[in-house]
Structure 1
């Protein structure tokens, strides 16, 4: 019998479990994970950026958790000796129509409490990134890079030192509940627990459905982000991090350049519909999962609204030349021959029945469960803050 069972060994699940044990060491806490190590999916495919809180609506859960979580993450990295680099980034407008959006982002960053911003003209941009072509931009000193897999491993280590338990290879197939207890049933075992905390990422909607009788009103839509790496002899083209002005009509940041903490430079990602929830390759298809995506009324509304953008993203997925052209908006010198295939990640994007792509974190409470149903970027940066928030919700019940 456990007091709390956390489903999901990614960064949010582990941060939540760690915060619970730090605050209430006497509670018996279990993390179950279907893979055989931590951080296999969204966390392990993360680009490694420490986000500053620039993009998020002031007062939103994203904004407040990112700013608080940012400080907590850096403190944790310092204490545990995890390498990171606050190298800063530039956000670049390449066309006149992007300038008002850029100016709005600058204001939003100020509202979110960021300091040390520096507005840049074309010459100023080149001082930070000599190979960038832009008409206006700004520098964000707070942005950095880290390895989130390493962060996760340290969360898990600290959680276990406090007496927490992690069981791997446990895929949840059912949750049975009565007034006081839940039975979490996996393909291999079953666990009796007073409270379930669902941090199942790409399957968070499915696990949430296990915790209630009526249909939940959202569906996880998987979007794959594909990266190229810049070959070593051309990595001089990028000093740190270079981002475009985001399209306000599309909930993704657009292709950008990221120096990685372990060396090398990534370019990407695009954002294409994945044909299975863990579809890291173009031809990864799970017929039942794809059918559930395509028949979800919310997705059909999203597809009707964004079909042109979606087709462009899909074209870039299959055309290296088109992907290169998108990158050349920021760095004209980059050539198709400079890019070698990199990795890919899948983002768990919650979509409601009306076609709304949830932009903020979504936490749904039930009598015996807390479901973290949407934890998009900057969830990794914010993980300790989100974990603390969920831990506090959980501990109110004990």
Structure 2
């Protein structure tokens, strides 16, 4: 079976890329392959559902430009396809004097990224947005919202099929053989010939990249984010979204409260090393994958640098009391008994050999493949914009 382009990975980034390819070049024969039996099975399906505004990201970075562009495209797509969402806004809360200058920097960054109508809030004004919150100052960001990204991904897939694209689930890519005329993608079921491979394999993007790119100087390190849910009788403590001021040195946003599109309120996540790439529970262990993470020189440097932060995150993972204490910084009324175990997600965090946690999108390409090796949060919000970027890289080969 011959194709012009094969996209590996049916998460939201792979599907958005495939949709953009078929929209721009409808005549190209395209196939999306995923090893799971359902769409959006991993990062997309375990996403917290936040539509990010672009507040946090360095102005001019791929993260910032993709988030803001992707945000507008996502809202338009939802409107055109009847997908429910809620632009409820969020507050970012400074709970200590040390966080106030960091929060003011965030406000400036948001303004540089084009966000409008943000409000700087004093302690009493915070209560107007979230009556139960504790903070010295805050920012209200009206552009932030919530959506169910599984529904979005499903709609992307429908549009791909409408445009003549194919999607094959339950097929794991086991190898890619390259030659002058293109590549042969082999799965556990079939082999396919293609002129170009687009790798959007998420948690396994580095391994898939190695099939076409011999020297990959990054490794995906899986970090699990664990959530609690508020008991139903305590959901009224949170109106919408409540975030802390993030640590500028650590690429995670800290524990926060998120009202979910499908109902309920999530609290979390922490960020701990997962003991397998798709390790959603503490008991999920793959010794080979864990050994790869621990042996990677870059991860060893990260562990040395952030060992205190890491120990705190691990402690919270095993101690509900410690997790509750972290949440009480924002919402003092929360008690242990108000929380029940929620879901978990695993973040595919690219880490370079020198200990850099790659904080921006990382795309490696050659004549055979375009490899998306890092698509960090806000990848779901940014998916259609990332899809534009990756599809343009792919389609420049088909302009003749």
Q: What is the TM-score when the length of structure 2 is the normalising length?
A: 0.99
CA distance, structure 1, for counterparts of residue 262 and residue 252 of structure 2: 25
SS in 2 for 1:96: coil
- Runs (5+) with no aligned partner, structure 2: none
Match for residue 327 of structure 2? 327
CA distance, structure 2, for counterparts of residue 200 and residue 15 of structure 1: 13
Match for residue 350 of structure 1? 350
CA distance, structure 1, for counterparts of residue 201 and residue 191 of structure 2: 17
CA distance, structure 1, for counterparts of residue 213 and residue 151 of structure 2: 35
Moved segments of 4+, more than 2 Å: none
Match for residue 227 of structure 1? 227
Match for residue 158 of structure 1? 159
CA distance, structure 2, for counterparts of residue 346 and residue 72 of structure 1: 26
CA distance, structure 2, for counterparts of residue 53 and residue 9 of structure 1: 25
Q: Give the 5 Å matches for 1:355-370.
A: 355-370=355-370
Instruction: Check the 8 A contact 1:180/1:368 in 2, yes or no.
Output: no
| Cα deviation code 1:316-372 (max 9, x no counterpart) | 000000000000000000000000000000000000000000000011111110000
CA distance, structure 2, for counterparts of residue 394 and residue 313 of structure 1: 39
SS in 2 for 1:44: coil
Q: CA deviation at 1:180?
A: 2.2
Q: CA deviation at 1:302?
A: 0.2
Match for residue 394 of structure 1? 394
Q: What is the TM-score when the length of structure 1 is the normalising length?
A: 0.99
- Root-mean-square deviation (CA), in Å? 0.5
Q: Give the 5 Å matches for 1:293-312.
A: 293-312=293-312
| Cα deviation code 1:189-239 (max 9, x no counterpart) | 1110000000000000000011123x3100000000000000010111000
CA distance, structure 2, for counterparts of residue 48 and residue 212 of structure 1: 33
SS in 2 for 1:292: helix
| Cα deviation code 1:108-142 (max 9, x no counterpart) | 00000000000000001011000001000110000
Q: Give the 5 Å matches for 1:363-382.
A: 363-382=363-382
Match for residue 385 of structure 2? 385
SS in 2 for 1:123: helix
SS in 1 for 2:306: helix
Matching of residue 271 in structure 1 with residue 271 in structure 2: yes
Match for residue 341 of structure 1? 341
CA distance, structure 1, for counterparts of residue 143 and residue 73 of structure 2: 14
Match for residue 68 of structure 2? 67
CA distance, structure 1, for counterparts of residue 382 and residue 181 of structure 2: 31
Match for residue 36 of structure 1? 37
Matching of residue 260 in structure 1 with residue 260 in structure 2: yes
